[in-house]
Structure 1
Amino acid sequence: MLNSDELRLFLAVMREGNMLAAARRVGVDHSTVARRLTNMEATLGARLFDRSPRGVTPTPAAFALVPHAERIESELLAALGSVAGRDREVEGTVRLATPEAFASHLIAPRVAELREQHPRLTLELASESKAASLSRREAEIAVMLKPPPKGRFVTRKLADYRLGLYASKDYLERAGTPGGRADLSRHVFVSYIEELAGFAEMIALDQLLPGAAIVFRASSSAAQHAAVAAGMGMGVLHVFAAAEDERLVQIFPESMEVWRSYWLVMHADLQRLPRVRAAADFLDEVMRGVRERL
């Protein structure tokens, strides 16, 4: 019969895509993962992964096993959460998936405080443009630009924030400062690669200036910020990040801003685990300190 440790390792390999990353995720060595998977296959009488020098490839049997393994995982986590006392020491690893600007400008500068509060808690900060799948346990907590449409999630709004149109001082000296909105048609712009944006809410240039002449696209908000600061063109940037950059000037702040929202999302089965609760409380604390500049 399969045990919970074997199922946990199996799901880690499915989510991470290879045994080495799965071993790091679970906290064991590579040989343990390989041995446990071999034991699972012997118990099931079915091959779960095709091995090759380039890694492992899930078989149809592996994909068929995933929903059953995830159901067992969810039930075990729910059981742990129901008995976890609030006075239990916070320890372990929590992966937090957030948009890039949120991670680099709001969370990373404050993580030392979380370490001081909970020295046995390890935070993994995954800053990506795409939305993490909480259902597949790619993260314990996610910060999203809109709440998920369905699923067993706990969701609450963290904060509203602004996106504004910016240009570098060097660019404006070279291309001229627009005197009115109509002058923007003579300028060039930086924006997202639309098909790589995890949320439609990331793309605000079309809302502010439909048909703008885009000369540079990037999937990274940091790369766009750097390109705008280097004089590549104008771009829509996070106000909380751009306001700290002396190279940048905001263009028509009264009329060229849009509002977006950050949402905290957790799987319902995980919300009562002390380590997850501590990380969520930390996010709330960070937001209380920065809301006025968002």
Structure 2
Amino acid sequence: MMNLMHWRLLVAVADHGSITAAAERVGMTQSAASQAMASMEATLGAQLFIREPRKTLPTALGLSVIEQARVMLGALQAIRSRVDEARPMLRGNLRIACFPQVLAKFLSPRLQRFAQLYPGIEVTTLEVTDNEVTALLDADLIDLGVVLNPGPGCQATPLGRDNWLAVVPARHALAQRAAGATVSLAELLEQPFVLATGGCTANARSLGVDAGLALRDVRVQVREWSSAFSLVREGVGVTLVPESTLPAQRQGLRVMPLSVPIHREFALVSAPARTPSAAASALLAMLAD
């Protein structure tokens, strides 16, 4: 069954020439977008795009379908604009704090959609660490903050999740395992290690502590994930990173899942000292839908 998101994705692929870029535009993961495109073609019983190594191009039939999809989406936007004109526009300011990777991968596409629905609300985003998010919320300096792994009693609106993955040098002994092989957290933490934090308290060291394990040989600690990948390529050590931080170019690296998967979750929470503003409530309601 096809829904509005499928048609938006179809047009985005045509505009960007890439399923990956289109997925970011509409707020989907690359794998979900690929599955959605395949599902659309299967439902319609026709090939809409030709997948080439560096480009995704529409077929002749695909061009015709895309043209009609644009007409449909344009009509829906006209309906939405007419409704917006007939009702008072919600106005205000919205301050959101978030750590960089989550902002880029998970929150920004949703904020683009929010801006279309509520053009009268000005959104300001702050890129900070997870500790700083908590401090800003407690000080009532922001309306909403993205937190990691919210507790069961926390009133939070989920944004997404990603898995922690091992990254080792391509020539490392662990990298010689068969395709699809996993690595345990215990054996990974015993290796010479590049500790990357991303400015967050949740990192390889804290995950080890939670599992009753310790990092025994930290060769270097860095804040930026990109620095960790460069050091791993040079053979300084292995590392453990969230899936959303993986580089597009992975030459010299072997990415391996953990034998017992560990994931991190992201969610939006409001400042505890006050009731969410109308602008904050509108965003939370959109995300909940």
**TM-score when scaled to structure 2?**
0.51
Alignment of 1:267-278 (within 5 A): 267=271, 269-271=274-276, 273-278=277-282
Per the alignment, residue 155 of structure 1 pairs with 156
Instruction: Please tell me the residue identity of whatever aligns with 1:138.
Output: L
Per the alignment, residue 15 of structure 1 pairs with none
Per the alignment, residue 250 of structure 1 pairs with 255
Per the alignment, residue 165 of structure 1 pairs with 166
Q: Secondary structure at the match of 2:194?
A: strand
State the superposition RMSD in angstroms. 3.9
How many pairs were matched up?
191
Per the alignment, residue 237 of structure 2 pairs with 233
Per the alignment, residue 141 of structure 1 pairs with 144
Is it true that 1:111 corresponds to 2:111 in the alignment?
A: yes
Per the alignment, residue 207 of structure 2 pairs with 204
* CA distance in 2: counterparts of 1:199 and 1:162, whole angstroms: 12
Unaligned runs of 5+ in 2: 1-86, 178-182
Call closer, same or farther: CA 1:88–1:237 in 2, change over 3 Å: farther
Higher relative contact order (CA 8 A, sep 6+): 1
- What whole-Å deviation, never above 9, does each CA across 1:251-274 have from its counterpart, x for those lacking one? 2x2515312222321136332x32
Alignment of 1:273-284 (within 5 A): 273-284=277-288
Per the alignment, residue 125 of structure 1 pairs with 125
Call closer, same or farther: CA 1:211–1:186 in 2, change over 3 Å: closer
2:265 to 261, 278, 281: 261
Q: Secondary structure at the match of 2:170?
A: helix
Instruction: Decide whether the 8 Å contact of 1:166 with 1:235 is kept in 2.
Output: yes
Instruction: Decide whether the 8 Å contact of 1:227 with 1:233 is kept in 2.
Output: yes
Q: Secondary structure at the match of 2:156?
A: strand
Alignment of 1:169-184 (within 5 A): 171-173=169-171, 177=175, 179=177, 184=188
1:102 Cα deviation after fit: 0.9
Q: Secondary structure at the match of 2:262?
A: strand
Call closer, same or farther: CA 1:193–1:174 in 2, change over 3 Å: closer
1:114 Cα deviation after fit: 2.6
* CA distance in 2: counterparts of 1:103 and 1:173, whole angstroms: 33
Q: Secondary structure at the match of 1:95?
A: strand
Call closer, same or farther: CA 1:246–1:193 in 2, change over 3 Å: closer
1:105 Cα deviation after fit: 1.7
Call closer, same or farther: CA 1:229–1:123 in 2, change over 3 Å: farther
Q: Secondary structure at the match of 1:257?
A: coil
**TM-score when scaled to structure 1?**
0.50
